[in-house]
Copies of this chain bind each other. A is one copy, B any other.
Amino acid sequence: MTGQIDSPKKKFIDTALRLFAERGFYGASLADVADELDLTKQSILYHFKTKEALYRAVLSDVSRRFDAMLDEVTGLDQGAEKRLRFFLQRLLEHAQHAPHDVRLVARELLDDVARIETGGALHLKPLLEKSVELLTDLPKWRYRSEAERTAAACQLIGAVSYFAISQPTLKALWGQSKLDDTKDAFLSTLLLRL
């Protein structure tokens, strides 16, 4: 129904994703998004009724890509540990060439506090449930209880995600070469701990 491919909405969604991820929902105005495309903000409001609607469209695009990655992992017909390693590798890759997605998800988590108070919707609920379930179901780790497996899953996702959103800062802090070294070492040391 909603034309996914090559819709004229796509350029707005892509640009809005980048700006929302970099500056947050309130930090990026409709005029900012339109300026990046050399258009006016009213052209955005033609395709999306409100700024909120644009934001929801961006979120569902992010969710779609994330979901495709998760399906790729669950579809892999291999042993549990192989799949877990594959998941972490794919998550890290995803964070590398779709950094805006990961940053927007992080902002969503931060904004949830205010949203929960006001009874707003948690947009990423299905995504989070799927991710954690995937990780806790996969391995029969040496951790004993369900709680410990869940905790370990949160640690793995958190380590990768936080590292991903820290990269621009770390690059400014360390320079590109040290960051690259750390990036190379990241996956191996993470997998080493499984």
Contact = CB atoms under 8 A, between A and B. Distances in A.
A161 B193 CA distance: 19
Interface string A74-113: 0000000000000000000000000000010011011111
A159 B155 contact: yes
A33 B142 CA distance: 48
A120 to B, nearest CB: 10
A169 B112 contact: yes
Contacts of A26: 23-24, 26-27
A193 to B, nearest CB: 5
Nearest to A117: B22
A147 interface: yes
Most-contacted residue by chain B among A116, A129, A168 (CB, 10 A): A168
A145 B23 contact: no
A143 B189 contact: yes
A129 B166 CA distance: 12
B110 A165 contact: yes
Interface residues of A, number: 59
Interface in A168-190: 168-170, 172-173, 178, 181-186, 188-190
Given A157-B162, A159-B154, A189 B109 contact: no
A4 B21 CA distance: 35
Contact of A163 (B158, B178, B181): B158
A150 to B, nearest CB: 5
A12 interface: no
A106 B106 contact: yes
A173 B103 contact: no
Nearest to A125: B173
A147 B110 contact: no
Contacts of A53: none
